[in-house]
Amino acid sequence: MSPAKPEERLAAAVARLILDPSAPPARHVAVGAASPIPAAACYLVQKLGHPLRLSLLARPAGNPFTEGTRELFDLAGQGRLDLFFLGGGEIDGQANLNLVGTGEWPGRAVRFPGSFGSAFMYMMVPRTILFREEHSPRVLVPRVAHVSAPGTSPPGVFRRGAAQALVTGRCVFRFDPGRARFSLESLHPGETVDGVRAATGFEFDAGGGVPETPEPTDEELALLRGPVCDEMLPTYPEFCARVFGRKAAA
């Protein structure tokens, strides 16, 4: 088995978070359009033999929804969606997400695409895994310029859950919604606590001896490169070609 690529390591790390027995159960997960690594993680969980209903919003055929786009949000509103993935142009130390932009509202300096469903999904789904490959002070900021979706809510505001973790190209952070603070859970190969601190705009906790993010097992790598890639090919052809070296059949 050739060594894991960074994308494969991230997918395996996300899969472990999905399977975390201390988190609320994940029976139904939805994955947005621009998220090949979270999608790979979900398929990996399935191929490892765990039952998981996966609603892949970008899947051109077999989209599970028959009531139009609103059905995803209704599903979350009903409490039927257990886990969702979110990112952000900016993410801060309280897990607030900015998908709007920087500078004067609505993003006069740099405009990001917009909030999508984040302001709703982040609060209605019991678990969110934050995922952003770019790990830089530009993205991980002390305080987001604008809040698309708040990381925590005051008591009395209806909210079903919060971020479980933030996975970046350098590390995995756990989020504690009670303290509204991240702590470093594991470092990807080659990363150091000091290096991560330098690349992170927000403060976070780091105990002694932060472990390295586990490498994918041979079984996981074989699944990723085989049946997971098979599932992903129609939806993420470029990703499969780049990471797994596979092209869709003509």
Partner 1 sequence: MDPISLEAMAAGVPDGAMVAMPPDNSLPAVALAKALIRRGARGLRLVGVPVSGFATDILIGAGCVAEVQTSAASLGEAGFAPRFSAAVREGSVRVLDATCPAIHTMLQASEKGVPFMPLRGVIGSDLVPHRPDWRVVPNPFAEAGEDPILLLPALRPDFGAFHAAMADSHGNVWVGRRRECATIAHASARCLVTVERVVEGDFLLDERLAPGAISATYVTAVAVAERGAHPAAMLDEYAADPAYVAEYARMARTAEGFRAWLEREALNRPALAAE
In the region spanning residues 21 to 80, those forming contacts with partner 1, defined by CB under 8 A, are: 28, 33-34, 53, 55, 58, 60-70, 73-80
The one-character DSSP state at 10 is: H
**Binder among 11, 123, 130, 228 for partner 1 (CB under 8 A):** 123
Q: Does 3 bind partner 1 (CB under 8 A)?
A: no
Q: How many residues bind partner 1, per CB under 8 A?
A: 59
Query: Taking CA 158 as the corner, what is the angle to CA 160 and CA 96, rounded to the nearest 5 degrees?
Result: 70
**Binder among 107, 126, 161, 216 for partner 1 (CB under 8 A):** 107
Q: What is the DSSP string of 193-242?
A: HHHHHHH-SS--B--SSPPBPPPPPHHHHHHIIIIIHHHHTTT-HHHIII
Q: Does 5 bind partner 1 (CB under 8 A)?
A: no
Q: Does 99 bind partner 1 (CB under 8 A)?
A: yes
The Cα 97–Cα 149 span in angstroms is 5
**Binder among 50, 111, 242, 247 for partner 1 (CB under 8 A):** 111
Whole-angstrom CA distances from 91 to 18, 180, 226, 229 are: 21, 13, 34, 30
The residue with tokens 């929804």 is: 65
**Binder among 19, 23, 116, 176 for partner 1 (CB under 8 A):** 116
Report in angstroms how near the CB of residue 48 gets to partner 1 at its nearest. Answer: 21
**Binder among 25, 106, 211, 245 for partner 1 (CB under 8 A):** 106
Q: What is the DSSP string of 61-124?
A: S--S-SS-THHHHHHHHTT---EEEE--SEEETT--EE-SEESSTTTSSEE-S--TTHHHHHHH
Taking the least distance from each CB to partner 1, the nearer of 42 and 196 is: 42
Footprint of partner 1 on this chain (CB under 8 A)? Answer: 28, 33-34, 53, 55, 58, 60-70, 73-80, 99-101, 105-109, 111-124, 146-150, 153-154, 156-159, 238
